[in-house]
Amino acid sequence: MAPVADRALDARQALDELGFVKLDAVLRPDRRARLVDRIEALFAEEGAHAGAEFKREAGAHRLANLADKGDVFLECALEPRTVELVAHVLGPRLKLSSLNARGADPGEGGQPLHADVGAIADAQGYWVCNTLWMLDDFTAENGSMRVVPGSHRLGRLPQDAVADPRAPHPDEVLVTGRAGDVVVMNAHVWHAGTRNRTPGRRLALHVFYCRSDKPQQQCQKRLLRPETQSGLSAGARAMLALDDPANDALSAAGEGGSGFLK
């Protein structure tokens, strides 16, 4: 499986045709260092409870509810360059669905091909979009993401279309990059983490968005502490849907959920 080649495509065209695009050097080194330092501190603080607000994953260390755990994370969720591309996928009415970190453990981290939250486009179009922030280099050896380009347009989930979603797909490509790069991905595209064959953990931040008429993967209003909510800007409150009665109703109806592999 060869790394994905550089393509002379406009970012929007790449999202339309391939289902994903990599943006180089979105994170400055100092900002990346702040993210890594905060994530490592949270792993140490939370210990065995790390990721407890979310569904845990064998073979990976996870953190969840990061919108409540530091401005450095919300800065990523509000990054204009990435939000603009997310809006290209979802339309202008969007919100943060969840904000988590994932570290693929040595010898682990392989996933079956999936679409996030088992999502299939509906009559209004696509409704989930993910951004993957590379906090380490993503290489062919350390658990980078594999993607089946164009699969977001199939209207099917991989578990209903292929014999073994854990097996290599003939059309998949490996998305590699440097620490500080960001992948914006139509989350209906078939994708999966690969096995980390190095002795060190490979770390990434996942900033996941959904269309405003859909439930959040994790209800931000329910998770964020009052002191966090009171200090947020108007833009952050809107992105988190904290003052949206329709989002409150979706959450109260019990829709959504914590699952990320379906």
pLDDT at 54: 87
Residue 262: pLDDT band (50, 70, 90) is very low
- Tell me how far apart the alpha carbons of residues 233 and 7 are, in angstroms, rounded to a whole number: 37
Q: Which residues contact 29 (CB under 8 A, 6 or more apart)?
A: 180
- Tell me how far apart the alpha carbons of residues 148 and 172 are, in angstroms, rounded to a whole number: 4
pLDDT in tens, 137-161: 999 999 999 999 999 999 999 999 9
Q: Which of 35, 177, 96 is nearest to 43 (CA)?
A: 35
Q: Which of 18, 25, 33, 258 is nearest to 145 (CA)?
A: 18
Q: Mean pLDDT of all residues in the chain?
A: 93
pLDDT in tens, 11-36: 999 999 999 999 999 999 999 999 99
Query: Residue 133 pLDDT > 50, yes or no?
Result: yes
Specify which residues 185 forms β-bridges with: 20, 130
- Tell me how far apart the alpha carbons of residues 203 and 92 are, in angstroms, rounded to a whole number: 30
pLDDT in tens, 31-89: 999 999 999 999 999 999 999 998 788 889 999 999 999 999 999 999 999 999 999 99
Residue 9: pLDDT band (50, 70, 90) is low
Residue 166: pLDDT band (50, 70, 90) is very high
- Domains of the chain by start residue, with CATH: 11-247 (2.60.120.620)
Is 62:54 a contact under the CB 8 Å cutoff?
A: yes
- Predicted TM-score (pTM) above 0.95: no
Half-sphere exposure of 235 (CA within 13 A, CB side): 8
Q: How many other CB atoms are there within 10 angstroms of residue 24's CB atom?
A: 10
Mean pLDDT of 109-135: 97
Is 187:20 a contact under the CB 8 Å cutoff?
A: no
Query: Residue 116 pLDDT > 60, yes or no?
Result: yes
Exposure class string for 142-161: b at 16+ Cβ within 10 A, else e:
bbbbbbbbebbebeebbbee
Q: Which residues contact 197 (CB under 8 A, 6 or more apart)?
A: 107, 141, 142, 143
